[in-house]
Amino acid sequence: MPKVWIEKILDKPELYLLRVDDNQIKYFEATWEIPEGITYNAYLLKLENAVVLFDAWKKDYTKEFIEALSKLVDPKEITHIVVHHTEPDHSGALSEVLRLNCYRAQIIGTSFAKRLLEAFYGSKAVENFYTIKDGEEMKIGGKTFRFITVPWLHWPDTMITYIVEEGLMFSCDAGGGYSIPKTIDDSDEEVVQEYLPYVTKYIVTVIGHYHKYIVQNIEKLKKLGIIEKTKMILPGHGLIWRKNPKRIFEHYEAVGAGVPKRGKVLVIYDSMYGFVEKAIEIALDELKKHGYIPVVYRFTDKEAPAVSDILGEVPDSEALIIGASTYEANIHPRVRYVLYEIVDKANYEKPVLILGAYGWAGVAGREIETMIMRSKFDHVDTIEARGNATEEDEERIRESVRKLIQKLGK
Ligand SMILES: Cc1cc2nc3c(=O)[nH]c(=O)nc-3n(C[C@H](O)[C@H](O)[C@H](O)COP(=O)(O)O)c2cc1C
Ligand SMILES: [Fe+2]
Ligand SMILES: [Fe+2]
């Protein structure tokens, strides 16, 4: 049974968090391995003559959502439903809410959201839909709701709501992260420290393809002066930020921009029988001699790390080393897939060194090189050994690692 939280966040105005801890999920978006789970956060705000629901939960938890919501309000009494983003991890339970509400509430969202809601849940779901314009303000229950579009965080439909008088920012996917934190907010530093790497993993796997929009949209919010004034950030996943609300956007900006941690080099490789591994071990030795801290992920006949975890390591790495064997005149399938996802989701201007091993005709090195050349990554060198690396290969590998280090300006 998933844990359900019904927590009062503010007394005046009366604000509640409705959170479900999804510990059943294995692959977010049917792809990303998240043994750490995820939470879906919805919020309910009771104002004078208005009851506002912000988003909902995934469809699988509809029954739990209705039960939790009904403890706070009769669904018929909800006057407004703000839909920040229609991805069904937030909108899945809405159909049932609307039915119980007898379609009385006004639904508020972007024009994109309207189209998507209709596509997902039928025309009845958008009968009472109000389409906002970017920056539009609306008085609801005596408070000023400002709606700001943040396209591609995470879909084209996405917006945030800022309640001017209270400094409350409902941010949906933006500001969210994976895992099931044991608190609801950022009050406990230990919880925050444990949570932030899951935020990075979430950003790369979910929003990574659009990571330049993270920087752009945060810039937009800064220009509007909103981030400065925000007292609380209430995302659709993970922790609420109220001790230090700026911190989550600083983290998002750093990940979006790929700000590196000094000394961290991400090393990813496959090795079927140990030959690529030998080349990698030479590189690791050279890296360590120069004081670098390699973070290593390897695919062997005994281990296959989660691709989602590897992706989460890219933004704060200074450089990457990719090792691959040639497999049926191609890149080994595991590294092929990882690389495809890195170039798609974590495409940053970082130096990359390619190492490889082949039997009769090396192809992997050249193929990886082509992918890297077409991306934002900076290709440093490609060294491939025929099977077991010779002393000559060893010298070339050490030399290329030194070349990589030079690129880092040390
Ligand atoms: C299933 C399989 C397919 C392979 N395909 C190729 C190939 O197309 N071209 C080639 O030069 N070597 C090929 N090889 C040989 C490997 O690339 C070579 O043995 C390399 O040294 C493997 O390194 P590893 O032991 O670290 O995986 C293949 C090996 C296997 C097991
Ligand atoms: Fe989303
Ligand atoms: Fe989401």
* Count of domains forming the chain: 2
User: In the block, which residue shows the tokens 């919020």?
Assistant: 43
Residue with CA closest to ligand 1 atom 12: 359
Q: What confidence tier does 169 reach under pLDDT thresholds 50, 70, 90? A: very high
One domain, residues 148 and 242: yes
One domain, residues 320 and 371: yes
One domain, residues 115 and 251: yes
Among the atoms of ligand 1, which is closest to the Cα of residue 385? 21
Secondary structure of residue 244 in the 3-state scheme: coil
One domain, residues 186 and 70: yes
Q: Does 355 sit in the ligand 1 pocket, CB within 6 Å?
A: no
Residue 180 zone, left/alpha/beta (φ > 0; ψ -120 to 50; rest): beta
Give the domain-ending residue among 230, 257, 284.
257
The residue-averaged pLDDT of 292-308 equals 98
One domain, residues 81 and 40: yes
> What are the Cα distances from residue 352, in Å, to 231, 261, 317, 357?
41, 16, 11, 17
The residue-averaged pLDDT of 207-223 equals 93
The residue-averaged pLDDT of 42-53 equals 97
pLDDT reading at 402 higher than 60: yes
One domain, residues 85 and 129: yes
Q: How far is the CA of 235 from the centre of ligand 3 (A)?
A: 9
One domain, residues 311 and 172: no
Instruction: Tell me which long-range contacts 250-255 makes (C-beta under 8 A, separation of at least 24).
Output: 251/196, 251/199, 251/200, 252/174, 252/175, 252/199, 252/203, 252/214, 252/218, 253/214, 253/215, 253/218, 254/315, 254/316, 255/199, 255/200, 255/203, 255/204, 255/211, 255/214, 255/315, 255/316
Q: How far is the CA of 45 from the centre of ligand 3 (A)?
A: 20
Q: Does 347 sit in the ligand 1 pocket, CB within 6 Å?
A: no
Neighbour tally for 374: CB within 10 Å: 10
pLDDT reading at 410 higher than 60: no
Instruction: Say which CATH number the domain at 353 has.
Output: 3.40.50.360
Instruction: Say which CATH number the domain at 224 has.
Output: 3.60.15.10
One domain, residues 245 and 307: no
CA dist., res. 86 & res. 95, Å (int): 12
Give residue 211's pLDDT.
87
Neighbour tally for 391: CB within 10 Å: 7
The residue-averaged pLDDT of 248-271 equals 96
pLDDT reading at 176 higher than 70: yes
Up-side HSE of residue 220: CA atoms within 13 Å toward CB? 16
User: Per residue in 342-367, pLDDT tens?
Assistant: 999 999 999 999 999 999 999 999 99
Nearest to 153 by CA among 137, 170, 138: 170
One domain, residues 172 and 45: yes
pLDDT over 70, % of the chain? 100
pLDDT reading at 78 higher than 80: yes
Neighbour tally for 218: CB within 10 Å: 20
The residue-averaged pLDDT of 108-125 equals 98
Strands 38-47 and 50-54, bridge-based pairing: antiparallel
Bridge partner list, 270: 299
Nearest to 131 by CA among 142, 143, 121, 118: 118
Tokens representing 393 are: 């290969």
One domain, residues 298 and 333: yes
Give the domain-ending residue among 257, 283, 311.
257
Q: Does 271 sit in the ligand 1 pocket, CB within 6 Å?
A: yes
Q: Does 393 sit in the ligand 1 pocket, CB within 6 Å?
A: no
pLDDT reading at 369 higher than 80: yes
pLDDT reading at 324 higher than 70: yes
Give residue 193's pLDDT.
98
Give the domain-ending residue among 225, 257, 289.
257
Q: How far is the CA of 172 from the centre of ligand 1 (A)?
A: 46
Tokens representing 143 are: 């408070």
The DSSP line for 45-81 is: EEETTEEEEE----GGGHHHHHHHHHHH--GGG--EE
Q: Which domain holds residue 353?
A: 265-407
Strands 351-358 and 319-325, bridge-based pairing: parallel
Give residue 212's pLDDT.
87
One domain, residues 17 and 56: yes
Judged by its nearest atom, the ligand closest to the C-alpha of residue 153 is 2
Secondary structure of residue 293 in the 3-state scheme: strand
Q: How far is the CA of 336 from the centre of ligand 2 (A)?
A: 26
User: Per residue in 6-43, pLDDT tens?
Assistant: 999 999 999 999 999 999 999 999 999 999 999 999 99
Residue with CA closest to ligand 1 atom 17: 358
One domain, residues 276 and 129: no
User: What spatial distance separates the first Cα and last Cα of the chain, rounded to whole Å?
Assistant: 52
CA dist., res. 16 & res. 46, Å (int): 9
Average pLDDT of the chain is: 97
User: Per residue in 224-250, pLDDT tens?
Assistant: 999 999 999 999 999 999 999 999 999
Cβ proximity of 104 and 79 under 8 Å: yes
Cβ proximity of 209 and 344 under 8 Å: yes
pLDDT reading at 409 higher than 80: no
CA dist., res. 30 & res. 265, Å (int): 29
